[in-house]
Amino acid sequence: MVNPEFKEKLQQLNHKLKQANIRVRVVLKGNSLYARATLPPKPNSKKSQPHQQDVTLNLKANPEGLRRAEAVTKKIGAAIELKEFLWTDYSQPTAQKAALKTTAEWWTAFETNYFEHHKRTATTEDSFKNRYRDYVKRLPQDQELTQERLERAIKVTEPDSCTRSRICFAYKALGEFAGIDVTFINKALRGKYSSSKPAYRALPSDTEIMEWFEKIPNLDWRWVYGMLATYGLRPHEVFHLDTSELEQGGIVVKVLPSTKTGYREVQPLYPEWIEQFNLREKRLPKVTGKCNRALGKRVTGAFRAYKTPFPSYNLRHCYAIRCIEFNIAVAIAACLMGHGVLEHTRTYQAWLSKVMQQEMFGRAMNSPTRPQPPKLGAADLAA
């Protein structure tokens, strides 16, 4: 929500504080600035030893706020050195102000602020709805937004679930914007769910993929199916393709910038499927969708309607496994699929490990120096 230029100035300030041996840093939470340092426990805290805590500065993330933050952090740093820091010197009126506004009022301000820093398009609106709005709606809109209400709404969700992880993300952002102390939304509360550890998927074999291509009666959706299988595209990307090279006899397709991860060029695995699936004759279904997610749902719905025994995204996973089996370098495979290398490796680590284990085992079993099992003698065989 804050522009890169401001973040760079914030880094410069923290470097300046470090160089001056001031043991305080200025941190950004939402659209507000806080001082972070190792401080004595707050009044009525269950902790007895100093630990890292944030001090509310009641300053917004703008040049004037940053200038004032520098002065306050120097004051806090001096109090720490003299062992004179008192929490009563740093009351938090922002949190009190938050209690005077309802959830609906804070939500309106939060949304306005968000789109002051993000271009409003169908895609960003959908992303905003998916990340924030659907979860904030769970809160009582006409009641004051408080820490207790946020915490209560989080704890009714299933622990270690995707919903728990996402609602923590949304409420932390809204709470920080409203000046509420949301330090209770920690790793333990978020739980162990991670999108980087995808659930097990029973992927179709290449033979099954070919068989189900023939079973789709609609030629337009059959072309979509073939493109997803051959190029490992995200479902919505099939509607954002430059296929001119493919149509003129080439094999490369170009994913346009309007997709999730921007422009890229993709090679087919297998190239033979271009002819077998008649992909040079472009046939797109006449469907509409305001954003990429809506287009993706159209594909999901078509697979369901034609009773395909695996979801559309599994064709993308099959392409990724094919990259591994064909010994395509991870960096190249990630580029083909529109991933970062770390994301790609993390997502497909299980398959990477399995293929590598099989390869190493095969080499060991076929090695001419592999020890041989003992042979039974004639007497042992007779017995």
User: Is pLDDT above 60 for 356?
Assistant: no
What Å distances lie between residue 233 and 9, 18, 123, 315, 320, CA to CA? Answer: 39, 47, 18, 8, 10
Look at 377 and 152; give whichever has higher pLDDT: 152
Query: pLDDT confidence of 199, banded at 50, 70, 90?
Result: very low
In this model, does residue 83 exceed pLDDT 70? yes
pLDDT tens for each residue of 261-280: 778 999 998 899 999 999 99
CB atoms within 10 A of CB 110: 23
Nearest to 326 by CA among 268, 275, 253, 273: 268
Percent of the residues in the chain that have a pLDDT greater than 90, as a whole number: 37
Q: What is the pLDDT of residue 120?
A: 86
pLDDT, residue 94, reads 44
List Cα–Cα distances, 292 to 122, 238, 255, 257, 295, in angstroms: 9, 10, 13, 12, 5
Q: Please give, one letter per residue, the 3-state secondary structure of 197-213.
A: CCCCCCCCCHHHHHHHH
Quick one: what percent of the chain has pLDDT higher than 70? 85
pTM (predicted TM-score): 0.55
Q: How far apart are CA 203 and CA 215, in angstroms?
A: 18
157-187 pLDDT, tens digit per residue, is 999 888 999 999 999 999 988 888 888 998 8
User: Quick one: pLDDT at residue 230?
Assistant: 96
